[in-house]
Structure 1
């Protein structure tokens, strides 16, 4: 396994870092408030970064997610990349790819995902969808939402077909409550499966999307943690106590070192899972491993970042507090460590090779 980015992946990462660095500043994020930044979204799409996900794959998206996490930039990049671009490119029909991908590349079509929905969406014999998912990230920005039905088929639903009730999460992710009441949807991969093998393939596609989403959001957590730790290191290097910078004290160094190791663990498990996914190797277990590290270790890192800022870290307007909120939100979104670990344990106990 070689996780070294390709030239294309590294170029995309550097471009994303430059755009996020220029436009996702603390001052700008403060001005944007809890809303999504439309100018930043336009800049990312105009630069071709969303469209590039088709070529740079899931590992490339993880690299972009890291850069977004470092600045906690408020755009639906990860959600649209994994639930939109990668899903359509990997599982859509030729006709769906030709019709949907241009809008996804341009950012005019924004897709988020109601994952995991845990069987809460059902499809009737007429193909109409019914059900509710309480918290869907970036739903208020989306033109479409990807949902799995009880049979684990994937459906793309226009948000005009759904009721979207705004929901406030820990992090400002423009979330909403999705209510489908006889909504028309488009089945990703084509019409109703006619054979058992096709039904299994659809269920496999659903599992594949869930694994990819866990990996991509774990990459986002790696960036959130790296950004939080960088702020803590910068602060403790200049903040003096009893005539010495805080960074010279062993207790501070130990906390920072532990946070660095946790961040690296999140990063490397996300990279490995993404690499395996891109090479069509079994990756569900690796996705759960990455999600567990992102949930458990991520929580520790953002707490450390805030703690090392002392009283300043408790200021709701301080940049490090935003990382704290994102880290806790990602912990919840990924399923919390105990839930993820239980699922991974069941997979191992059942002898699942993935």
Structure 2
């Protein structure tokens, strides 16, 4: 097991950090509201970061998403890369790769997934989609991240072994309706209603579970960055703010709270790296992706709460940058699934493997 990034992975993460640092400023984020920062998205695609995903692998993508999370940048990078580029590169036919990957890489097309990190037994969160014999989909998915930007949606539908089949739907096709919805974090989310919408299959048996594991890992990496950014802001604040003639950071209670947040952040990072490394290596990683998702959900919300708490009264200011990390952390917690759900699914996976 070797988590050290390859040269191209480190270069991609460094380039992403530079772009996010220059363009994902608090002022631009506040002005964007729930909309995507078009200039930032153009800069990322022009730099070739989304298009590089097949070359840098899932671990490289996780490193890039960490940098996005540090700034909570308003772009559909995680969704497009994991549900679009990574999924098509790994499971698409030669024709699908040739047709879809160039547009997804340049940002001309934007992808998202109409399912969160839930297990195949429960299917898409809050709704189900059925597939007819002619490949037309019917159903409602109440909350799909970045749907208002998407040109393509990856939808699981129908019963299959070991999971449902995957279908790729264009948002401009007849029978597909998109309505805006509001979420905790400003993710340009929407409600997807399908009434006999035409779709094309993507991948074969096992593709759903593979994409689900990759999505869990990618969004856990995003959470690692969100937590690291929140903690960095808390450290800066407590080191510069004085109380009774000394920095807040010298108080034992502050140090302990920050230390706990740091350990939680590192736990998210290392479990995510392990899951990504195993998936890139073609090794079984279902339980590792679940473990990363559990840490991202459970520990992630602790870290963003701590980041806000360590800001004192300033943390209650809804316009303060640390509040954006709080919103993203809680949204990722909800998207990945609550800890008890994830632990129950992890137990089922381990029990199934023990019986095999």
Q: TM above 0.5, one fold?
A: yes
Contact 1:91 1:188 in 2 (8 A): yes
Give matches, 1:135-214, under 5 Å.
135-151=143-159, 152-161=164-173, 162-189=176-203, 202-214=204-216
SS of the residue aligned with 2:137? strand
Please give the per-residue CA displacement for 1:68-123, whole angstroms capped at 9, x wherever unaligned.
00000010001100000000000000010011110011011100001144371111
- Structure 1 residues 247 and 47: CA distance shift in structure 2, 3 A: same
TM-score, L = length of structure 2: 0.94
Partner of 1:242: 244
Alpha-carbon offset, residue 353 of structure 1: 9.2
The whole-number CA distance in structure 1 between the counterparts of 2:169 and 2:135 is 12
The whole-number CA distance in structure 2 between the counterparts of 1:54 and 1:353 is 35
SS of the residue aligned with 1:112? strand
The whole-number CA distance in structure 2 between the counterparts of 1:326 and 1:79 is 15
Partner of 1:289: 291
Please give the per-residue CA displacement for 1:131-159, whole angstroms capped at 9, x wherever unaligned.
11111000000001000112311111000
Number of residue-to-residue matches in the alignment: 342
Aligned residues: CA RMSD: 1.2
The whole-number CA distance in structure 2 between the counterparts of 1:51 and 1:121 is 30
SS of the residue aligned with 2:35? coil
Contact 1:282 1:353 in 2 (8 A): no
Structure 1 segments of 4 or more deviating over 3 A?
116-119
Range with greater deviation from structure 2 (268-277 or 143-152): 143-152
SS of the residue aligned with 2:334? helix
Partner of 2:120: none
Partner of 2:344: 342
Please give the per-residue CA displacement for 1:149-191, whole angstroms capped at 9, x wherever unaligned.
12311111000121111110000000001110000001113xx
SS of the residue aligned with 1:282? coil
Does 1:129 pair with 2:137?
yes
Does 1:257 pair with 2:259?
yes
Contact 1:145 1:158 in 2 (8 A): yes
Contact 1:80 1:112 in 2 (8 A): yes
The whole-number CA distance in structure 1 between the counterparts of 2:354 and 2:194 is 33
SS of the residue aligned with 2:130? strand
Alpha-carbon offset, residue 352 of structure 1: 6.0
For structure 1, the residue ranges without an aligned partner over 5 or more in a row are 190-201
Partner of 1:72: 72
The whole-number CA distance in structure 2 between the counterparts of 1:53 and 1:130 is 31
